[in-house]
Structure formats: structure tokens, C-alpha cells
Amino acid sequence: MKDERILIVEDENDVNRLLATILSDYQTTSAFSGTEAKLYLASAKYDLVLLDLMLPGMTGEEIIDHMRGQGIKTPVIVISAKQEVADRVNVLRMGADDFIMKPFEIDEVLARVEAVLRRCGQREQPAASPGGQQKLSDGTLVIGNLTLNHDTRQVTAAGKEVALTVKEFDILELLMRYPKKVFTRENLFTAVWGEEYFGEDNTVNVHMSNLRQKLAKADKETEYIKTVWGIGFKMNI
């Protein structure tokens, strides 16, 4: 089961059900009118909207208009029986990301959904989170010019790769996950070393100092980690 959430907006029961079946690997929600779709969009975040154009309540075009007007950047694939090039061009201009003509092929729907999700990333795509960091669709954490990927354990500063030891990486990851939090040396030691703390300030200091030196070597312009005197460390955001 994939964790991307897809809103299917289609008033024909059978077609809606068919789309939900085709996309059963994803978390799907079905809306059967334009007004229902608007309610869902107001109450939850989706990674993709599959949108019919001729709908009761609000038309598909009105929904795209509403979404973009509200700053909802969720990608939209229009699925419509409208054959005219002008209709397709129109919805793409309005901010739809792709267009599938009815009647559709199952494989085509799947391929286009996958392509749009890949292109647009997930719902945590480059929109700044309240925490101050961004998270890309592959899980890469981004703060300013600094990126960190948990899976590949790669870190870059100003586009340059920074080779870190395991502990340095773990410290940085913790700081980047909670960029507004000030971590005491005890916090860091307990979390990163996973051992009980008996005043190992020096251990933390040494690793922190090495980590900062490596970041500074890659990017002299930016101080990524700030010392909060008397308390500890936090990201400099």
C-alpha cells in the first residue's frame, strides 16, 4: 500500500468505483460532486486529484480555479470526455497537470498518475513546513543550502557533498528534524549515543566541532549550527 492520497472526483458511480479499483494501491477518497470535492479539499491534504469536468454542484474547471485561488498546489489530472483540443488546453492553462481522455485505458491512468506523483512529489514537497525545514518527496530534509537524506546518508552544503561520520550525521539529522529546538549536550548525547549521560559534554563538543568544520569547509558563507550559550545547539534559521 502506497501512502499517497488521491481524491477521485467523478459523479458517475461506476467510473468512480473503477478508478478507485485501478488506484487501490493508493489511499483513495471518492467525491461524487463538485461541492463534495470542495469539502474534501478543505478538510484534508491530497497528493493528487483526479478530476472529471462535467460534475453536479461545481464543474471541474471551477474546482481547479477554486484550488489554485486558495493556493492549494495539489496536482490535478483531468479525466474527461471533452474531446476538443481547446478544452484540454484550457484546463492545462488553468493549472491542471495532465489530461486523460474518456474512455480511458487502465494502464494509461496508472502511468499518468505515477508520472504526475513522481514529478510533483508528495504532499510534503518543497513547501516550507512550520518547523522551518522543507522535506522533499524522497525524504530529503532541506534547510537553506543544507540537505540531508536519511536513507542514502548524504549531506550537501551549498551543493557540495559533506562526508560525515555516523555520529556527526546523527547529530545533524536530529538538529534538522527539529530546527527550532535547542538541544542540550545531554539531549544530543542521549539521543545519538543512546547511552545514559554522565556529563559527556566533551564528547558532544568534539563531534559538534568536527561537524561544524566540515560544513564550514563546504560552505564558508553560512553558519548552519548556532550555539545557544549556556544551553546547547540549534539550527541557525
- When asked if residue 136 is in the footprint of Ca ion (CB under 5 A), the reply is no
Axis-axis angle for helices 34-43, 60-69 (nearest 10): 20
Separation of alpha carbons 123 and 145, rounded Å: 21
User: Which of 179, 143, 149 is CA-nearest to residue 161?
Assistant: 149
Site for Ca ion in 24-53 (CB under 5 A): 52
Q: Give the phi and the psi of residue 225 in degrees, each rounded to 5.
A: -115, 130
62 lines the binding site for Ca ion (CB under 5 A): no
Report the nearest approach of Ca ion to the CB of residue 191 (Å): 53
- Nearer to Ca ion by Cβ, of 54 and 72: the residue is 54
Q: Is 13 exposed, middle or buried (0-12, 13-18, 19+ CB in 10 A)?
A: exposed
**87 touches Ca ion by CB under 5 A:** no
Closer CB to Ca ion, 16 or 74, in the complex: 16
Q: Which residues of 155-178 are buried (b: 16+ CB within 10 A; e: fewer)?
A: bbbeeeebebeebbbbbbbbbbee
Contact 112, 161 (CB under 8 A): no
Min CB(55)–Ca ion separation in Å: 6
Smaller CB distance to Ca ion: residue 60 or 232? 60
Residues 146-205 that bind Ca ion (CB under 5 A): none
Helix and strand counts by DSSP (H, E) for the chain: 8, 13
Tally Cβ neighbours within 10 Å of residue 25: 13
Question: Residue 182 contacts by C-beta under 8 Å, 6 or more apart in sequence?
Answer: 228, 231, 232, 233, 234
Shortest gap between Cβ of 77 and Ca ion (angstroms)? Answer: 15
In the complex with Ca ion, which residue's Cβ is closer, 109 or 176? 109
11 binds Ca ion (CB under 5 A): yes
Binding-site size, Ca ion (CB under 5 A) = 3
C-beta closer to Ca ion: residue 54 or 120: 54
54 touches Ca ion by CB under 5 A: yes
- For residue 15, the minimal CB distance to Ca ion (Å) is 8
Stretch that binds Ca ion, among 5-13, 112-120, 154-162, 192-200 (CB under 5 A): 5-13
Q: Which is nearer to Ca ion, 102 or 226 (CB)?
A: 102
Kindly list the residues in this chain that would bind Ca ion in the complex (CB under 5 A): 11, 52, 54
